[in-house]
Structures are given as structure tokens and as C-alpha cells.
């Protein structure tokens, strides 16, 4: 069934008055010259192009490089709203880390009958060579992105968890830098929590997870698949901002039981590797033997305490959308508390009754692959043709365990700047969370993704979405 609630506009009340969080911003906006704002909007686009803030969209033949569309109307979150969100995110991330630790050790949640064992069996994200191993500091999910959607004044829900290699933080930082460069006077009128220290906090958080073999100040490096990866800009950006080396698999080798990187002074051991390479390609001796992106033998060094890999191999099990449907039970099992943030209602197509319901209501539902990401491999029923729905139904019947379904939510909107003035568009929010033995840190706000097409619910940049600066107001 679709969500029949009216669409919540985050800037305006139903009577057209401005909501309190946007009051100062709207006072400023109303005083601006529209032509000058339009010029600034074009300047922002030019700035992004000069900086190289692009991403790759993979087509049938080759990757196409595109500019990330940026909208200059910020998404604003009140301080009290953020406090509530922060508590819910912290609870969820704590539960995720405890859940992954349990799955690779005693599996208490399976023994208690709260999670079906079949979700691990034949699951590519489940890594047998992580069984019985505890990463340095007991941290599996060093960097997490929690995707949130809003459907009402107090209704925030988690759409999905990103515990493998969440991307987008560079766009969050560049969006803020662009806004501050374009409208410096605005930030003296509206007091907004800073996000600019994220790279330093990331470096500190990773260093706090250094392995037993570390001597002196931990050496941190970022492992990238290379310049053709869709998020290469981000890999290079974060390495530069952290003061860490950006390395590829060909720069690394195992020497004397350590993973070392090639430098002008010979090979230097690495203590913490922030990897942006998928598990499958991390170690050709342990995973895909054809991989040239990883480091032969890195898993042996890891298990011997010679390096920290962030995020830990095998964390992708928490991104599985079938497991997502059990998150309310998972949060309660590991924290002893009811979830502060709700899940979106979810039908597991592996269950016959759910499959029958989903097939009967495909035109109203959103159906996703359990391992899917980036908006690919999904069906949005209300915007699909009868032919597309019929074709998807065949896929669903052939592999029901590969899909989950959710209602079409009435996602909240925030205005975007268009030629015709301000116009509402649907948004989501990805806050970024850092986890170390010293605790959990959540960056105020995060990345707001916006569906630039009127009526569209798909916010992914690979599917035509853009980004906004996300503001959390100071108390």
C-alpha cells in the first residue's frame, strides 16, 4: 500500500507561513536580488566543475563522468530535532556493531530465534574467514552512513544502513564550503553547526583503532580502486584532507608480516587502511583470485594483528536489505531498548505470504534487491508502466529471496532554486558516523540528497538526483 499521508514541506506550514527553523534563512532570502542569486547558482556549478566534484555513471559501454548537481537552498534541521535524531542514530550504530560482532562469534541472536540462520547461509556478504576474529578495538563499522527519510514533523525513519563503504561525505564538505564562499554574510545571520572538522575527526577516529603492531603515531592510508572508480574524487579528497597517503593495490605489499606502502624512502608499514575497495577485491589469496585492486596476503596480516582495515571485511552483512527488515529486533536484542528510529515497513519476498501480497500490489510498492545500492535494480511501482511491472513480477517470482518491498512513502520536501522560483522536491539525509574504542561521533547534519525532477522519489546522483547543504542550527 502507498503512504496516504500529506507530503510534509520542511520549510513551509500548510498555510504558507515559514516554519521556525527556516525563519532567519527566509528573512535573508527575501532580501536577495533574484538575478544575483541566479548568477551565484551558476557560479557554484562552475566551482564544482573546476574542483572536479564529479562521479561516474556506469552505462553499457563505459563510465560517463558527470557533475554532481548542487542546489543552494539549504536543508535546515532545528537543534532539538537533531538531538533526537542523534540519540536514535547512536543507538542504531551501537546495535549494528554489536550485531556484526555476534554474527562472527557466538551468534546469540540466531540461537535465540530472533534472526533466521538462512539469512547468513549462501550470503555473499558473509565472510567465513572473519569467524572467530575480533578487529582491533572491537570495531567493525568505523564509518557508517545511515539513510533517513522524513514523513512528518516528528517522523524520521531509517531507509537503509550503509556499513560497508558509505560515500558522499566529500560532497557534504564541499557543499558547505561552497555555501560559505557564496554567502558569507548568511552564516553570520544563521548560526549553523560546523562540519569542516570531519576529516580531522576521521583521522583521529581511525588512529584510535590502530592494531597491536603499531609503533609510535599510527600511519593511516586510503586504499582506492583507482581513477576510474565512481567515488575517486572522494577518495583523493579525504586522503588529502586527513594528511594520509592515497594508495592503490599496486603500491602495497606484505613485508615482514606488515602491509607496507611504497614511498620515496622505501616501503613504510601502514597501521590503518581506510579501504574503498569491496571485500571481493581486497585480497586475491582469500577472495577473488583475479583481483588486481587489493593486496595479496592482507587478510593474514589483519588476522595476526598487523593492520586495521576500516571498515572491517564482512560488515556488508549489515547492509543486506533482508537483514534490515529485522533491525527493530536487532536493536532491542543488543541494547535492551526499543528503537528510537523506526524502520520503513518491509515485506520479505522470501516469505510466501509476503510475496503474494507484493505481487498483488506491485503498482503501489517500491521493490529493492537485498544487495542493491545506488538506486539500481529496483522498481518504483507508481511511476512504472504496466510492461515494466509485468517484467519485474517475472524476476520476483524467479528469485523471491533476492527482494524486499516497501510502501511508497510521502517523503518530505525542501524547496530547490529553479528558473521559476522556489519549488518543492523530495529529499533524504545521510548522516555520517565515526566509531572507535573512544566512542561514537556523529557529524551534525550530513548529506542531503534531493530528487531534482518534479514528483520523483529517487534521490541518488546516479539516477539524476542532486545534493544540498544540510544545516543543523546551533542551540
d(CA 344, CA 161): 12
Q: Which helix (H) or strand (E) holds 70?
A: strand 70-77
φ, ψ (nearest 5 deg) of residue 395 = -60, -40
CA angle 337, 341, 345 (to 5 degrees): 110
Say which residues have a Cβ less than 8 Å from residue 370's Cβ, sequence separation at least 6. 320, 321, 322, 401, 402, 403, 404
d(CA 257, CA 302): 9
Q: Which helix (H) or strand (E) holds 335?
A: helix 327-335
Among residues 283, 277, 315, which one has the least CA distance to residue 301? 283
Query: Are 338 and 291 in contact, with CB atoms under 8 Å apart?
Result: no
d(CA 206, CA 434): 9
pTM of the model: 0.92
Cell reading at 329: 529486533
First to last CA, the chain: 39
d(CA 96, CA 106): 15
d(CA 280, CA 314): 10
CA angle 167, 172, 174 (to 5 degrees): 115
Task: Encode the chain (475 residues) as per-residue pLDDT tens digits.
Answer: 444 568 999 999 999 999 999 999 999 999 999 899 999 988 887 777 777 665 554 344 444 556 778 899 999 999 999 999 999 999 999 999 999 999 999 999 999 999 999 898 878 899 999 999 999 999 999 999 999 999 999 899 999 999 998 999 999 999 999 999 999 999 999 999 999 999 999 999 999 999 999 999 999 999 999 998 888 989 999 999 999 999 999 999 999 999 999 999 999 999 999 999 999 999 999 999 999 999 999 999 999 999 999 999 999 999 998 999 999 999 999 999 999 999 999 999 999 999 999 999 999 999 999 876 656 678 988 889 999 999 999 999 999 999 999 998 889 999 999 888 899 999 999 999 999 999 999 999 999 999 988 888 878 766 678 899 999 999 8
> Which residue matches cell numbers 533482508?
322
Amino acid at each position: 500500500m502507498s503512504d496516504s499521508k500529506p507530503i510534509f514541506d520542511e520549510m513551509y506550514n500548510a498555510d504558507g507561513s515559514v516554519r521556525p527553523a527556516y525563519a532567519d534563512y527566509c528573512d535573508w532570502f527575501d532580501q536577495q536580488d533574484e538575478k544575483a542569486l541566479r548568477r551565484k547558482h551558476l557560479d557554484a556549478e562552475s566551482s564544482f566543475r573546476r574542483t572536479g566534484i564529479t562521479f561516474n555513471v556506469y552505462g553499457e559501454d563505459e563510465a560517463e563522468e558527470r557533475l554532481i548537481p548542487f542546489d543552494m537552498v539549504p536543508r535546515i534541521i532545528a537543534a532539538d530535532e537533531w538531538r533526537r535524531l542523534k540519540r536514535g542514530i547512536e543507538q542504531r550504530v551501537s546495535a549494528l556493531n554489536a550485531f556484526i560482532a555476534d554474527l562472527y562469534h557466538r551468534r546469540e541472536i540466531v540461537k535465540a530465534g530472533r534472526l533466521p540462520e538462512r539469512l547468513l547461509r549462501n550470503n555473499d556478504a558473509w565472510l567465513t574467514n572473519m569467524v572467530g576474529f575480533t578487529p582491533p578495538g572491537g570495531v567493525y563499522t568505523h564509518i557508517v552512513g545511515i539513510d533517513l527519510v522524513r514523513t512528518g514533523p516528528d517522523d524520521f525513519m531509517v531507509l537503509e544502513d550503509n556499513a560497508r563503504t558509505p560515500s558522499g561525505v566529500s560532497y557534504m564538505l564541499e557543499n558547505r564550503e561552497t555555501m560559505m564562499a557564496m554567502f558569507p554574510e548568511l552564516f553570520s545571520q544563521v548560526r549553523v553547526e560546523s562540519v569542516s572538522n570531519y576529516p580531522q575527526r576521521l583521522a583521529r577516529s581511525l588512529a584510535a583503532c590502530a592494531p597491536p603492531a603499531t609503533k609510535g603515531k599510527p600511519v593511516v592510508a586510503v586504499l582506492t580502486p583507482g581513477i576510474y572508480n565512481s567515488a575517486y574524487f572522494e577518495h583523493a579528497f579525504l586522503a588529502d584532507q586527513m594528511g594520509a597517503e592515497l594508495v592503490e593495490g599496486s603500491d602495497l605489499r606484505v613485508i615482514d608480516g606488515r602491509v607496507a606502502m611504497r614511498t620515496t624512502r622505501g616501503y613504510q608499514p601502514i597501521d590503518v587502511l581506510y579501504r574503498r575497495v569491496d571485500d571481493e577485491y581486497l585480497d586475491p589469496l582469500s577472495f577473488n583470485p583475479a583481483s588486481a585492486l587489493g593486496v595479496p596476503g592482507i587478510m593474514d596480516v589483519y588476522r595476526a594483528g598487523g593492520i586495521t582495515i576500516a571498515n572491517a571485511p564482512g560488515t556488508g552483512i549489515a547492509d543486506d536489505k533482508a537483514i534490515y527488515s529485522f533491525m527493530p529486533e536487532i536493536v532491542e536484542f543488543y541494547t535492551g531498548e526499543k528503537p528510537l528510529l523506526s524502520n520503513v515497513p518491509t515485506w520479505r519476498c522470501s516469505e510466501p505470504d509476503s510475496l503474494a501480497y507484493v505481487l498483488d500490489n506491485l503498482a503501489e510498492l517500491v521493490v529493492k534487491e537485498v544487495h542493491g545500492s545506488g538506486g539500481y535494480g529496483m522498481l518504483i511501482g507508481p511511476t512504472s508502466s504496466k510492461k515494466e511491472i509485468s517484467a519485474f513480477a517475472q524476476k520476483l517470482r524467479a528469485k523471491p529471496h533476492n527482494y524486499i518491498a516497501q510502501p511508497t512513502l510521502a517523503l518530505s520536501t525542501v524547496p530547490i532554486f529553479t528558473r521559476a522560483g522556489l519549488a518543492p522536491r523530495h529529499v533524504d539525509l545521510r548522516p555520517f558516523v565515526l566509531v572507535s574504542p573512544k566512542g561514537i561521533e556523529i557529524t551534525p547534519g550530513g548529506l542531503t540528497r534531493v530528487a531534482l525532477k518534479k514528483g520523483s522519489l529517487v534521490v541518488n546522483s546516479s539516477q539524476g538526483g542532486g545534493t544540498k547543504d544540510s544545516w543543523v542550527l546551533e542551540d
